[in-house]
Chain A
């Protein structure tokens, strides 16, 4: 093989390396995210390499072999969601006593105002500067000890903010309407109770009393001849 041949083969290999490198990296990543790799790391009592893995894919074996404490971290909008960004202990490091594995998982957001950041139930001492600490349990399968959540710290994230319904009504005005509705209901109840307490004679369901009378006009007498034609007595 001459120099010309090497001059040809070297660029081809460079192009091949450039094209193959991402594929091999992804293949390696998939190998590290495989349950077998996680099981092997648990058998060795070291932390598996989880950075770059999707949490949904490794959650089942992780839960089976480790005590994990996932932390959802807000990331930029173009970042993939549910990807493990950091871990503590790092990959290959021995597991700490108590067996904890803290993971920092990305949580992508389509809109800034609807970002949901969920903090893991970890207690991070303010003196510890480590943003994401992972404690991997030494016990591979059984978790006897209760996980202590003291070594994990998360980046300070804004508090959880749920999306609110914007109905265009001021809170004070809604309270006014609520008060008016309650007052109206109370008035209706009072009126109904008062109506029910009325006696049958005073209520609307009483029997109507109808009395009639005849207004008499003056008596009229018509006689075509003399009215008195005879008299007896009184002399």
Chain B
């Protein structure tokens, strides 16, 4: 497990945190999910190039900010929603907690007619936060900072974890501002 300092001005992308081993594990499980789907398996057998194309398309989808993805847990938390008030921004200091969110890849293949396939594989991104602070303004989450975040990724097949990997431990700066304010729910 390595540590990365995240400047506030730079974005954080999940795919940049994946090492070769994690990528290989993800592709392995994706290939297994492809072979489970009978129609998709036949398509890949007739057009072998599809297998690599599916893997590349899914890996491309992992190019997102993991903190934005996990912030959905903050936005839905009752204690945080209770702190929203109109007017000046509010800074909430949070105790140790963890957020997680599942992602299920689905592919659409256009071979004259589009066919969509939901792969039986799930990626669960989890973040363990300690000493972080949230800035809320006008019922919107503006930034997070001043703490550590340990990111981990789990690969699930049929709702069972088959592989897990600790990605990075992020030492968040004083303020990591989201690209777009996230509305509290």
Residues in chain A within 8 A of chain B (CB atoms): 202, 206, 208-234
Contact = CB atoms under 8 A, between A and B. Distances in A.
B24 interface: no
Contact of A217 (B60, B96, B104): B104
The secondary structure that dominates the B interface is mixed
A212 to B, nearest CB: 4
Nearest to B112: A202
A234 B89 contact: yes
Contacts of B71: 219
A158 to B, nearest CB: 67
Contacts of B98: 221-223
B58 A212 contact: yes
Q: Which of A211, A212, A224, A233 has the most CB of B within 10 A?
A: A212
Interface of B: 47, 49-50, 53-54, 56-58, 60-62, 69-77, 79-80, 83, 85, 87-112, 118, 123
Contacts of B108: 210-213
Nearest to A210: B53
24 contacts: A208-B47, A208-B49, A208-B50, A210-B50, A210-B107, A210-B109, A213-B106, A214-B61, A214-B104, A216-B101, A216-B103, A218-B76, A219-B101, A221-B74, A228-B79, A228-B93, A229-B94, A230-B92, A230-B93, A231-B90, A231-B92, A231-B93, A232-B91, A232-B93
Nearest to A235: B88
Contact of A212 (B74, B95, B107): B107
A208 B88 CA distance: 52
A213 B101 contact: no
Contacts of B107: 210-212
Contacts of B62: 214
A206 to B, nearest CB: 8
A212 B106 contact: yes
B73 A221 contact: yes
Contacts of B90: 231-234
B72 A218 contact: yes
A136 to B, nearest CB: 86
Contacts of B70: 219
A202 B113 CA distance: 10
Contacts of A221: 73-74, 76-77, 97-99
